[in-house]
Amino acid sequence: MPIISGAARTIMSAPELRPLGLDGLMEIVPRRHGDVRGYFAEVWRDGWIEGVRFVQDNHSLSRMTGTLRGLHFQLDPAAQAKLVRVVAGAVFDVAVDVRPGSPSFGQWAGATLTAERGNMLFVPAGFAHGYATLEPDSEVAYKASATYDPALERVIRWDDPAIAIDWPLAGPPILSPRDAAAPTLADIRHEL
């Protein structure tokens, strides 16, 4: 399980970690140093999570509340760990364990991420990831530990009844055609 390295614990800006019950999945709350001008927060430093090195940054904007993106992941050798944060608005962010042989295979956990709080979700490699917007014009920025490889990307249905994610949506989500037609985890388990 990735952990904050010993050296990072001595740094004043080291974030607070909140495990979410699935091996390696955690909410991270950076320390904000504020004054009358606003605040400063260190949101990532190489070495904070042992064994994780990020190589790609992504940014998305979802204009409408109720937009749902996911559940996406990549197969080995391009499996991605992700560090997800909201830079505007709010989302309900979810990770599903898709690691073969994991005792929590098919289980999910999530957290509400907001720009106001500045909290983040660390999603280890081997988890599918998705989020639903809770406010209009929500922007999500995330780091990935492997570059995007469309040949190795997979999608799981957002409402897979075997996973049973409790999305906090007021109505049907706004989906891409690909996400709307995604298979269940059982349908793609043989590929894992």
Out of 33, 59, 129, 142, the active site residue is: 142
Compute the Cα dihedral for 155, 71, 5, 143 and give only its sign.
positive
**In the annotation, is 129 catalytic?**
no
59 has which bridge partners?
Answer: 141
Out of 33, 72, 131, 148, the active site residue is: 72
Residue 24, both tokens: 């390696």
Residue 130: closest CA among 87, 93, 169: 93
**In the annotation, is 72 catalytic?**
yes
Element (H, E) at 91: strand 90-97
| Residue 9, φ and ψ in degrees, nearest 5 | -65, -25
- DSSP code string of 31-46: -EEEETTEEEE----T
Residues tagged active-site: 72, 142
